[in-house]
Amino acid sequence: MERIIASIGFGEAGQAFARPGTRTYDRKVADPATRGALLDACRAAEVAGCDTPQEALTGAHTVFSLVTADQALPAAQAYAALLAPDALWLDMNSVAPDTKRAAAKAITAAGGRYVDVAVLAPVLPARLAVPLLLAGPYAAEAEAVLRGHGFTNVAIAGPTIGAASSIKMIRSVMVKGLEALTAECVLAAERAGVRDAVIASLDASWKPQGWETRIAYNLDRMMAHGLRRAAEMEEVAVTLEALGVEPAMTRGTIRRQRALGSLGLTPPDGLTAKLAALGDSE
């Protein structure tokens, strides 16, 4: 089979990963309001902008699926039948492991080869240097294709579809959660007129440490003092509401602190032991 690479979706990621000579199809091509800008972007990237998915996928050896999260499964189901035999379908969308397994079922049933790809950082400005994590029985083949395309930071999580997505989704609890906590904290600090003091206090108390040590410490505090901390956070919620800041993240913190504190556990030493104790208590 000729080594043709196509993409479904030509948004930010599609344009960041584009290489001259590849093909792309994006639904925006059918909308007169967006067609011109889309085709201009294709020309700028020296990519063939296709009017139909058939035009993009016919004969393609590899397909990058780069759609919005809600379209990841529908795209696999809609376009699976258009794939060339043994074509690689690289699902690079940020979706749950079960969603990827459902998409894999559709691709496999049509004779394609599905690969779970997790994009582990913003695609800009990294572009082809963005870290990619692959999973599935065809991960090695996909790694070779991706490196040949120009990607420089590619690793394999294992042979099970959903493994890469699990890492991506679960780490997002921390990454996106910290972003949301940051917004809630700094908006309140700004409205209270204490932004600089709050930032200085955080700088002074935030210890440089690895995540395993940090996680073990945080669990220790919650297991030992979760009930007291939940009560304190109730007052934090009152403070934010008085400032006109919705305490959405704070309310979640209250529930989590109270849940762990109410278990009445003495924190054991080490992260593994703490997690085992919490698992046994459920």
pLDDT at 2: 55
Average pLDDT over residues 8-27: 96
Q: Say yes or no: 126 and 179 in one domain.
A: no
Of 108, 133, 167, the position where a domain reaches its end is 167
Q: How far apart are CA 76 and CA 89, in angstroms?
A: 8
* Cβ contact 18:45 at 8 Å: yes
CATH code at position 236: 1.10.1040
Q: Say yes or no: 52 and 144 in one domain.
A: yes
pTM of the model: 0.83
* pLDDT of 179 strictly over 90: no
Q: Say yes or no: 146 and 264 in one domain.
A: no
pLDDT at 232: 86
Q: How far apart are CA 183 and CA 231, in angstroms?
A: 22
* pLDDT of 53 strictly over 60: yes
**Average pLDDT of the chain?**
94
* Cβ contact 267:224 at 8 Å: yes
Q: How far apart are CA 84 and CA 196, in angstroms?
A: 59
pLDDT in tens, 81-140: 999 999 999 999 999 999 999 999 999 999 999 999 999 999 999 999 999 999 999 999
Q: Which two tokens stand for residue 278?
A: 């919490």
| Percent of residues, the chain, with pLDDT higher than 90 | 84
Q: Which two tokens stand for residue 101?
A: 């397994």
pLDDT in tens, 153-162: 999 999 999 9
Q: Say yes or no: 21 and 154 in one domain.
A: yes
Of 133, 167, 201, the position where a domain reaches its end is 167
Total of domains in the chain: 2
Output 50 or 279, whichever has higher pLDDT: 50
* pLDDT of 1 strictly over 70: no
Which residues of 105-199 form beta strands (DSSP E)? 113-119, 132-135, 154-158
The model's confidence at residue 281, banded by pLDDT at 50, 70 and 90, is low
| Percent of residues, the chain, with pLDDT higher than 70 | 99
Average pLDDT over residues 52-76: 96
* Cβ contact 164:157 at 8 Å: yes
Q: Say yes or no: 163 and 184 in one domain.
A: no
pLDDT at 183: 87
Q: Say yes or no: 162 and 179 in one domain.
A: no
pLDDT at 130: 97
Q: Say yes or no: 244 and 108 in one domain.
A: no
Q: Which two tokens stand for residue 235?
A: 């007052």
* 88, β-bridge pairs: 62, 113
* Cβ contact 53:80 at 8 Å: no
Q: Say yes or no: 213 and 238 in one domain.
A: yes
pLDDT at 167: 94
* Cβ contact 227:262 at 8 Å: yes
Residue/partner pairs of 250-255 with CB below 8 Å, 24 or more apart: 250/184, 254/230, 255/230
Q: Say yes or no: 133 and 194 in one domain.
A: no
- The residue with tokens 């709050």 is 198
pLDDT at 48: 97
* Cβ contact 159:135 at 8 Å: yes
pLDDT in tens, 193-208: 999 999 999 999 988 8
User: Where in the sequence is the domain holding 244, given as residue range(s)?
Assistant: 170-281
* Cβ contact 112:27 at 8 Å: no
Q: Say yes or no: 153 and 81 in one domain.
A: yes
Of 167, 197, 222, the position where a domain reaches its end is 167
- The residue with tokens 């007052």 is 235
pLDDT at 208: 87
Phi and psi at residue 87, to the nearest 5° = -65, 145
Q: How far apart are CA 168 and CA 75, in angstroms?
A: 20
CATH code at position 76: 3.40.50.720
Q: Say yes or no: 142 and 178 in one domain.
A: no
Q: Say yes or no: 144 and 105 in one domain.
A: yes
Phi and psi at residue 158, to the nearest 5° = 150, -175
